[in-house]
Amino acid sequence: MDSLIKLAELSYSYILKNYYNKKALYTVLCAYGVFKTIYLAFVDPLRKVPGPWYARFSKIPVRYAQFSGETQRYFQSLHDKYGPIVRAGPRTLSCSSSKEFKQVMSTYRYKKSTIYEGFANVHPNIFSTRDETLNKTRRRQVGPAVSQKGLNVIESLVSSVCIDSAGTKLEQLTQEGSGSAEINYFNFFQNITTDVVGELGFGIKIGAVQNEGHPISGWINATVKNSMRFNSFPLLKKFQRIMPGLSNNETNLKNLCMGQIKQRQELIKNNSLDPNTYDVLQIYVTATNPSTNKPLTNDELLTEIVAVSVVGIHTTSITMTWMMAYLMAYPEVYRKLVQEIRTTFPDRSKKISISEAKEKLPYLVATIHEVLRVVGSHGNNLFRDIPKEGLEIHGFNVPYKSEIGMFLPGANLDSSVWEDPKTFNPDRFLGADGDKLKKEVLAFSTGVRMCPGKDFSMMQLYLVFANIFKDFDFSLPADSKFVPNSKNSHPIPNDITYITRLPANPQADCIVVITKSS
């Protein structure tokens, strides 16, 4: 045994003496670099996938686009140049084909990639989890709240916010402004969804519409931005852990949600909760984990309520924002939509229900679907890991340990599905193929990880726009840079993508004038 130890020591000394020097180190590094270059250029199984030359060697351009909010533009430019399948990194592909999007998203075989981990600095939840079992469990638990039956139960509550509170606020503003007022529609719509989620998420009246804002909106906007920025470069995640100040917004959001959880638990403990209480928090508080047959822990409750708050407030309000932006840029569409609503519902004192909007306002339905198609709230790539059996897509074999991004904005512009795909044209949904085309809109994703809150979001879109356009006129300020002109017939605010796709400068660019309709 001693002789073996001495032999090992001699070998170690020999290696240190002869090879552990700068020259040897440089030689090894150069050899590795040459080998890696030759492999990536001539042997790599992804070498024939079209894309920029640098994508074979580095994913840094993708990470920089994610960090800077240029994700949508970056990937769209790649697909415009190279086609529906493109290489974006040494082991990263992006696909903009609608058909392949549905194929990959139809199964749990392709797990969400690691970029989803740590969203909002909470544990995995219904939206961020990479685990099939957890996702299925949470979908079963929250399913009753977002089913059509559940939505029928809560429609009156949603209506009270989307119609009554919003209408009252606009009425107040126009009266105070002697018949007209300027509003920031990005803020206004986010206030609406904040109040809706407050009521249906954890049963409280936030009052964001009436008070013209609430801090939770800012916390959520910052949380979404930070999640993408910190996940784009893994090193930044370590800074976030050792510098708590970088996560103040996430902390504030978690504290608010945990406060509501504990308050609800106390009400239940004291038998003080209204037996008719029906919200997402109550569904989760009374749910059990199938594996343990025990209630969800506070950490599990927190991560789900944070997720509901972020997704429920942020994404729906962004869709509303783009709806208004496009209608202001396309005045002929706006006029046609307003005429349909006011002709169909001439009684201004009557509220338009969701069923009436869907059944009697086909142009409203078409316009909402076209906005979701052209500029939905999600502007990112939905990255999925390739399993051991690999993936065959567009004639290429993608090997294990690679990842593929299913580029949602690109899939909604697939020319094999959409005629003149980059043109904003709600009329495309009114023809003989209208109903079929509506099913091709992928704004809420599709398949096994489709957004469970799709119908809930659509309910708000129908209620808000049917009723505010019935009662109020909207126009751009005379000095707005988004007034259609000879140089730009359809000016739209610049966008930025941090997971979601929102106006880059909403406080300056999202201003409209409102007046009471005559």
- Count the residues in the chain: 518
**Closest CA relative to residue 106, chosen from 499, 385, 450, 429:** 450
Half-sphere exposure of 63 (CA within 13 A, CB side): 14
Annotated binding site: 451
Q: CA-based angle 145:151:156, to the nearest 5? A: 120
Task: Kindly state the DSSP code that residue 496 receives in the 8-state scheme.
Answer: E
CA distance 518 to 76: 43
- CA 473 to chain centroid: 29
The structure tokens listed for 37 are: 């270059």
Rounded-to-integer distance, Cα 40 and Cα 32, Å: 12
Residue numbering of the annotated binding site for heme: 451
What is the sign, positive or negative, of the torsion defined by CA atoms of 87, 88, 91, 97? negative
Q: How far is CA 282 from the centre of its chain?
A: 25
Cβ-contact 463, 358 below 8 angstroms? no
DSSP output for 79-116 = HHHH-SEEEEETTEEEE--HHHHHHHHT-TTS-B-GGG
Question: How many angstroms separate the CA atoms of 339 and 254, rounded?
Answer: 44
Measured distance CA(288)–CA(294) in Å, rounded: 5
Q: Residue 213: which of 193, 231, 239 has the closest Cα? A: 193
- Give which of 111, 96, 123, 62 is closest to 383, Cα–Cα: 111
